[in-house]
Structure 1
C-alpha cells in the first residue's frame, strides 16, 4: 500500500512530466522599417511583439508622447494577425517604468509638446486590458507609480530578481483610483492593496511573488529567455480560446452580469469551428494539434 509521501511524489513526477520543456532557443528580434518611434522601441519575432519603453535616463518614466507611441504600438500588434502575444518592458536593467515624468507635470496632467496637459495613460490602460491577445510585463528594476499600474494591467508579469514594486502617488500628490486601486485590491487583497497605497512602501520581487502581484521571479540574466519561453508556450495554444478567456477574466473582474451565459455561448460557438474540432480530433487521434494554421485575428 502506497504511503501518502509516495503518492505525493508520484503526483509530482506526473505533473513534471506533463509540464512543457523550457524552450531556450535564442530569439532574433526584428524592427519593422515602418515602426519607428522616439520614446519606445518595437520589435517582433516568432509571432511575438516586444514593446520597450526607451527612456532609461529617467528610469523609463512616460510623458504624453511616450503614451501616444505606446498606444500606436499596441494597436499595431493588435491588428497584426501574425502576432499572438505581446511583451511590454523597459530599456535597461534598472527600471521597467517609474510612472509619469514629474518634470513635465502641470496643474491638470502631463504637458505635451504644445503645452496641453494629458492623462492619456488611462487610455493606454484600457487598451492593454481589452486587447484580445495576452500581454506580458517583463520587469527588471523599478516598477513604480504609474509603471506599477501598467504591469498590474498586463495579463502576466515575469519579474527579474532585481525588480522592485510600489506606489508613490500619495507621496507626490497623485493617485490612481481606477484600475490602480480596484484591480490592485482584486489582485493582492483589499488590506494589502491599502497598505501598498497608504504607506507607499517598496517591495522586492520575492515579496511581490508572495502576494500574487507577479507570476514568477527569475534571475536577471534569464529574464528575456523565460519570458519568450512563456510566450512561445501561449502561441502553441488556441488563439481563440486565449482571446475568450481574457475577455471572461476581465468581465468577471469588472463585475459584468451574465458571465456564465457568455462563457456557455462562446464555448458552444467555438466547438463548431475547425479550430475547436482540431483540438478534439488531435486528442482522439493521439497527435499534436496543428493550431498554427488558424489566424490570430485583430
Structure 2
C-alpha cells in the first residue's frame, strides 16, 4: 500500500538504495514495463512531441524539486509522471496511475474506465471527473482549444476503432464458437491468434498512439496493421471455416456465420472491400451513420449522462 492509500509497491518506481523522486519522474522508470509490441508507451512517448522535447530539454526539467509542479517548476515537457501522477497547481500527487484516465485502452473493445465498477454498483470516480483532471494537467501548458481538440479527436478515434473493427471482429469470433466453426481449445487455431493480435497488439498500439500524440503508431504501427489483420487475415479464415463447416454437414452454423459476415462487409464502413462505393471522407457536413457530427453528438450525450446531476 502506498502512503496515499493506493495499492502498489513503492520500489516499482522508486528503486532501492536511492528511493529517488527525481528518478521516478523520468520516463525511463515506467519503461521497465510499458514497452514492447503490445503496450509500447515508451516508444510512443519517445516519438511524440512531448518525448522529443523532454530529451532536448531534460536539464530544464528541475527533476529534483521537492514539489515539482508543472507550469511552475518546469514547462519544457511532461513525463509520464506529470500527466498521470504528479502535482499540478490544482491537483495533488496521486499514486493511482488510472486516476486521470477516462478510457480503458487495453481491452478488446475500449470502454469508459468506470463502466464495469458502476455496473457492479460500486461508487467510483467517474470517467468525466478523471477527464477533467487530465485536462487540468494539459492546461498547465496548453490553451483550451488545443486541449479540447485533442480529447475530442481521441474519443472519436476510439469510438471509430471500436465500431469499425473490434465490435464486428468480436461478434464474428464469438459466432464461430457458438456455431461450431471453431473449438473451445484456446489458441489452437489461426483465427484465434489473429483476433488476439488484432486487439492486443495492433489495436492497443493504435489507441495508445492516439492518446499520446504518436502518429506513426496510430497509422502504420496501428490502424494499417489492424486493417490488414481484419481484412486480409481474419476474413479469409472465416470464409474458409464457413466452407469447411458446410462441407462437413454443419450447414446451419455455416449459414449463420456467413450471414453475419455479409452484414458486416456490406455495412457502410466495410463495403469498399467488396467493391462497393465507400462512404465520403468524414467532414462536419457528413450525414452518414458514422459521420463526424454523429460521433460528436454521441460523445456529447455520453458526457452529459456521466456528468454529476445538479438540483
Common topology (TM > 0.5): no
- Which structure carries more strand by proportion? 1
TM-score by length of 2: 0.28
TM-score by length of 1: 0.29
- Which structure carries more helix by proportion? 2
Larger radius of gyration: 2
